[in-house]
Amino acid sequence: MAKRRKPARPKRESGCPISFALGIFGDRWSLLVLRDLILKGRRRYKELVAAEEGIATNILSDRLSRLEEHGLIVREPDEKDRRQVLYRPTEMAVDLIPMLVELIVWGARNDPDTAVRDEFVAQFEEDRDALITLIVSQVESTAKGGRGG
């Protein structure tokens, strides 16, 4: 995992941690980009722009810059093709996995058209902490050894 650094300090109206978090990823796209990087293992710009939700290229570029500025992702040259850039979640982003899993399960329980498999929700209900630990270890091993995306 990338070395943790202090995030950029957005202008804030209060010391509320929810307000702080929303200042970083309180729009529709930022959490979806993080979802793709963290949970779907997407690493390249073209993989991110091809996401199911259809993010516009200018919005994707902006969100990647903001996430990098706040210390949630790092850009690295692709060792296989130096012209390409890989995006990798930092430790700070990996810390969001429990929240992302909770959002997934909440959405799965409340969206009649969810794409989430019943097995995922059942695994969550059986042992939430084990599921989160498994996801974290998969993300960390991918970041260390599987930089090809």
Q: What is the pLDDT of residues 19-36, one digit of tens each?
A: 888 888 888 899 999 999
Distance CA 40, CA 38 (A): 6
The full set of domains in the chain, from first to last, is 17-145 (1.10.10.10)
pLDDT value at residue 2: 52
Distance CA 51, CA 31 (A): 13
pLDDT in tens, 12-71: 677 888 888 888 888 889 999 999 999 999 999 999 999 999 999 999 999 999 999 999
Contacts of 5 (CB under 8 A, 6+ apart): 71, 90, 92
Cα→Cα distances 125→43, 44, 107, 130, 133, Å: 30, 33, 14, 10, 14
pTM of the model: 0.81
Q: How many helices (H) and strands (E) does the chain have?
A: 8, 2
Question: Please, is 143 exposed, middle or buried when counting C-beta atoms within 10 Å of its C-beta (0-12, 13-18, 19+)?
Answer: buried
